[in-house]
Amino acid sequence: MPGLTSDLGETSDVPFSSEVGPVVYPLRHGLKPPIAARFSISWSRGNSLRVSGFQSEADDSEVVRGKVVEVKLGSGDGEIDHSQWRRIAYGSVSPFALLQSRKNSMVAVSKMSAVSSPYDAEWSDYVMEYSREIGFLLGGHKLSLSVGIVDTKTVLKKVEEPTCLKAAWELMVIFYADHKSQAWTPEQLVDWLADYDSLLSGTQPTVHSKLVNFQKELASLQAIEDDDNYWEAISSVLAVGWLDVAVKMLRLHGSYQLNQVGSREIENGLVEAVAVLISKMPRMRLELAPGKLGEYFGTKPDFIKAWEKWRGQISKLDCSAFWVQCDHRQTREGLKNLLQIMLGNANILSSVTCHWMELHVSYLLHIRPFTMGLENMKNLAQKCMQFKPVSCPHKLMTLLLGILGENTEVVLAECSRSFGPWMVVHAAELLAAGNTQAEILLHEERHNLGGISMEELHRLVYAQVLSSHALTWQIGPIYLASCTKQGMALLKILLYKQPMHHNQILLKNIEICRLYELHKVSSKMMKIAGVHHWKHGKKGSGVFWLQQARDEIRLSRIAQQLFDFVGKSISDESFKQWEGLIELLGSESRIAGGLEFLHKYRDFKRSLQQVHDGIATNRAQKAAESLILLMKNPSTPQRFWLPLLYDSLKLLNWQEHPLLNVSQTNLLLNKLQELSIGKAMPFFCLSLLPLNALSSSRLLLFEVVSFSFIVEKLCT
């Protein structure tokens, strides 16, 4: 499902198009023109749409046939491959669920103690923990080492490619989750750009791309300091605050070579002095990663003091007499340029940076280190954009501008549109953390959305994306469970769309139903499985699942079918088959009356079978007794009377002596009489028996009754 865009035209003051036209995708169906006569569509699970293309009848080609293609919507722009996506999807479940449960318990506590704000320090810690865990998932390690010189001829070290998704996540963390570091936001942006500047290279040149180009040149350079690109590259990296790179590059200067130190002492002294100044640059931040240059100060007064002192040193060096003695023009000019950068010369900063974001960061570092608040940052960003306009804004920049513009709707829409449903669901937690306006916006129930909040909408959309894949649908319920209004209904639909005849999937579904107390859903699924198995020859599984589903209607139909079946024949094979089913059906259900009959009938058939196997009068006697019991029993369906009698012809006609007495035979005759009268009864069915079954039974019974009458008379 594509991201839901918001109509933001009136409220948005950042470049954000409100009239976004439909996204056009190609649909490669492989049919020859004239394009398929017809397309047919069908939504599969989640957000996958299947399109059948039918070849027009006019086309006689044997080669080209219609086909069905599946398109998955809103599943990312391909930056992250499928297996990686699944890893992220699975990995983010537990931090998300933990945060929800913490939120719920905090809300419960605050309700009890009537404390209105749940956003205390503890909550802030939880959100940071959540953001760290998710951040780790998006890219295991810190990427800030991506720029650095590992040996004399390598400026850039190759590390894992940063992703826009991770970059966007970090932006959200900086501005929404990391409340404790708010005073040091400018420095966080400097770090952020160092990590992700390469991502901006896609659309236009950046300091990173400049550095990459310089590295290619590096191997062929003899005297590096003669090359203008060398000085330009150092200026650029210094401007954006990659101090370690700047210092290491400075130390590639030819004057450091042992054979040159003597003749270029002053020159080398100046280079080193600048390098030392760079490495001592005061930074207003809480800490510096190991190996990073600069001196950090956590408080503004300390920083101001250090900064003024450091600037004083720069000015002093700038006015130094040694410059006159430096013969190498490029070195002199290059170093002077670096000093100007450190002194915050706006013109030079503008000329050495490429992207407006780089200019923005260089201002934050060298001109306005105290820039506080989003409003000021936004003004600065707008100023930088005037200097360095872009024709096609990068999605990360659109997101950043949304953040700086304090427009939660834009931020959400941009998260959804550019980074997909996963991002918007998980980042919404950061947005809502401590930002009341965002929280209201996210949680407000909207009539236009069918009475749900934006937070719920995004979760529903994400759950749908998850449910479109056989390997991720199982985590959909966790997100749906967090949707109080519509989550359960969507979960039910999702569960119904699983293939129930796969036992494992069915068991998983039943487990989910048990967890969320969806008993009706569970029983419907078992019903589907039961019917499938019953109709596909797995009668035992069929009955089992229908029993689990407590589907009395179908079970009693099955019992009816068994009756019908039982009435048909008495062959060994079929006897075994239905005998097993009678066992399975048990006697606990409401159809117990019918089953009681089936059990007795089974016993009767067993003894009859034994009679057929060999001549054993006592067994025959037993069978005859079973017959009478069956015929006396009111639960024996009337339509079985005749088949029973017909099956028992051999018993009735027992050669040795009559097995039935007069009253027993009379009972049978009466039953026959009833049958003859009730031929018109709805269940009366003779089709399965020989046409003369009734008359032959009757005839035989008359013989038996007269014979037993004689025997009884003789005995008395």
Partner 1 sequence: MEKTVATLDKGTICSSWNYSGQRMATGSTDGTLAIFDSVDSASSSFTCSSRSRVHEASIVKVVWVPPEYGDAVACIYADGTLSLWEEVVEDSRPLQWKLCKDFDKSSNQVLDVQFGVSLTGLKLVAAYSDGHLKVYELLDPLELKNWQLQAEFQNVIDSVSKFGKAACLSASVSWSPERGESQQLSFVLGFNSNIMQLNSAKVWEFDQDHQRWLPVAELALPEEKGDPVYAVAWAPNIGRPYEVIATATHKGIAIWHLGLNPDLDGRLSVEKVASLSGHEGGVWEMEWDMSGMTLATTGGDGVVRLWQSNLNGVWHEQAVFEPTI
Question: Which residues in the 23-62 window bind partner 1 by CB under 8 A?
Answer: 23-33, 35-55, 57, 62
Q: Which of residues 684-713 bind partner 1 (CB under 8 A)?
A: none
Which string of x and - marks every residue 502-541 that binds partner 1 (by CB under 8 A)?
A: x--x------------------x--xx--xx-xxxx----
CA distance 514 to 82: 30
Q: Which residues are 283's β-sheet partners?
A: 296
DSSP character at residue 174: I
Q: Which is nearer to partner 1, 152 or 569 (CB)?
A: 569
Choosing from 14, 16, 66, 211, the residue that interacts with partner 1 (CB under 8 A) is 66
CA distance 418 to 411: 10
Evaluated on CA atoms 411, 413, 414, 416, the torsion sign reads positive
Q: How far is the CB of 457 from partner 1 (least distance, A)?
A: 8
**Within 13 Å of residue 160, how many CA atoms lie on the same side as its CB?**
12
Q: Which of residues 240-269 bind partner 1 (CB under 8 A)?
A: none
Q: How far is the CB of 549 from partner 1 (least distance, A)?
A: 9
Q: Which is nearer to partner 1, 466 or 704 (CB)?
A: 466
* Helix 552-568 / helix 519-535 crossing angle, nearest 10 deg: 20
Q: How far is the CB of 512 from partner 1 (least distance, A)?
A: 15
CA distance 578 to 130: 59
Q: Which is nearer to partner 1, 326 or 442 (CB)?
A: 442
Q: Which is nearer to partner 1, 225 or 456 (CB)?
A: 456
Q: Which is nearer to partner 1, 164 or 494 (CB)?
A: 494
Q: Which is nearer to partner 1, 559 or 631 (CB)?
A: 559
Q: Which is nearer to partner 1, 113 or 448 (CB)?
A: 448
Q: Which is nearer to partner 1, 253 or 639 (CB)?
A: 639
Find the part of the chain contacting partner 1 (CB under 8 A) among 2-10, 155-163, 332-340, 625-633. 2-10
- List the structure tokens of 519: 């008993």
Q: Which of residues 386-425 bind partner 1 (CB under 8 A)?
A: 409
Where does 76-209 show beta strands of DSSP type E? 147-151, 154-156
228 within 8 A of 330, measured Cβ to Cβ: yes
Q: How far is the CB of 89 from partner 1 (least distance, A)?
A: 16
Amino acid at 21: G
Q: How far is the CB of 163 from partner 1 (least distance, A)?
A: 19
Q: Which of residues 70-99 bind partner 1 (CB under 8 A)?
A: 70-73
Binding to partner 1 by residue 319, rule CB under 8 A?
Answer: no
Q: How far is the CB of 542 from partner 1 (least distance, A)?
A: 10
Q: How far is the CB of 500 from partner 1 (least distance, A)?
A: 7
User: What burial letters (b/e) apply to 630-646, b meaning 16+ CB within 10 Å?
Assistant: bbeeeebeebbbbbbbb
Q: How far is the CB of 69 from partner 1 (least distance, A)?
A: 4
Find the part of the chain contacting partner 1 (CB under 8 A) among 111-119, 499-507, 598-606, 691-699. 499-507
Q: How far is the CB of 31 from partner 1 (least distance, A)?
A: 7
Q: How far is the CB of 221 from partner 1 (least distance, A)?
A: 45
Q: Which is nearer to partner 1, 68 or 276 (CB)?
A: 68
87 within 8 A of 137, measured Cβ to Cβ: yes
Q: How far is the CB of 530 from partner 1 (least distance, A)?
A: 9
559 within 8 A of 585, measured Cβ to Cβ: yes
CA distance 318 to 424: 50
Q: Which of residues 479-498 bind partner 1 (CB under 8 A)?
A: 485-486, 489-490, 493-494, 496-498
Q: How far is the CB of 278 from partner 1 (least distance, A)?
A: 48
Please give the helix or strand (H or E) that residue 43 lies within, else none.
strand 38-43
Q: Which is nearer to partner 1, 27 or 261 (CB)?
A: 27
Q: Which is nearer to partner 1, 252 or 465 (CB)?
A: 465
Q: How far is the CB of 592 from partner 1 (least distance, A)?
A: 20
Q: Which is nearer to partner 1, 354 or 412 (CB)?
A: 412
Peptide bond preceding 162 in cis form (omega within 30 of 0): no
CA distance 320 to 329: 16
Distances, alpha carbon 555 to alpha carbons 147, 531, 634, in Å:
71, 10, 21
Q: Which of residues 131-150 bind partner 1 (CB under 8 A)?
A: none
Tokens 């005749």 appear where? 642
CA distance 216 to 230: 12
Q: Which of residues 561-590 bind partner 1 (CB under 8 A)?
A: 561
492 within 8 A of 522, measured Cβ to Cβ: no
- Give the contacts of 544 (CB within 8 A, at least 6 positions apart): 530, 533, 584
Q: How far is the CB of 273 from partner 1 (least distance, A)?
A: 57
User: Which long-range contacts (C-beta less than 8 Å, at least 24 apart) are formed by 448-456?
Assistant: 450/486, 451/485, 452/483, 452/485, 452/486, 453/485, 454/412, 454/428, 455/428, 456/483, 456/484, 456/485, 456/486, 456/487
Which string of x and - marks every residue 589-618 that binds partner 1 (by CB under 8 A)?
A: ------------------------------
Q: How far is the CB of 448 from partner 1 (least distance, A)?
A: 3
Question: What would the DSSP string read from start to end of 51-108?
Answer: EEEEPPTT---SS---EEEEEE-SS--SSS-HHHHHHHHHHHHHHHHHHHHHHHHHHH
Q: Which of residues 436-465 bind partner 1 (CB under 8 A)?
A: 446-452, 454, 457, 460-461, 464
Size of the site for partner 1 (CB under 8 A): 94
360 within 8 A of 381, measured Cβ to Cβ: yes
Q: Which is nearer to partner 1, 368 or 538 (CB)?
A: 538
User: What burial letters (b/e) apply to 81-119, b meaning 16+ CB within 10 Å?
Assistant: eeeebbebbeebeebbeebbebbeebeeeeeeeeeeeeb
Q: Which of residues 219-238 bind partner 1 (CB under 8 A)?
A: none
Q: Which is nearer to partner 1, 54 or 119 (CB)?
A: 54
Q: Which of residues 100-119 bind partner 1 (CB under 8 A)?
A: none
Find the part of the chain contacting partner 1 (CB under 8 A) among 3-11, 383-391, 509-517, 633-641. 3-11
Q: Which is nearer to partner 1, 28 or 158 (CB)?
A: 28
**Pair type for strands 295-297 and 282-284:** parallel
Q: Which is nearer to partner 1, 82 or 311 (CB)?
A: 82
Amino acid at 219: A
Q: How far is the CB of 681 from partner 1 (least distance, A)?
A: 18
Find the part of the chain contacting partner 1 (CB under 8 A) among 287-295, 300-308, 556-564, 618-626. 556-564
Choosing from 150, 289, 470, 615, the residue that interacts with partner 1 (CB under 8 A) is 470
Tokens 């200067």 appear where? 253
CA distance 473 to 172: 27
Binding to partner 1 by residue 554, rule CB under 8 A?
Answer: yes
Q: Which of residues 633-672 bind partner 1 (CB under 8 A)?
A: none
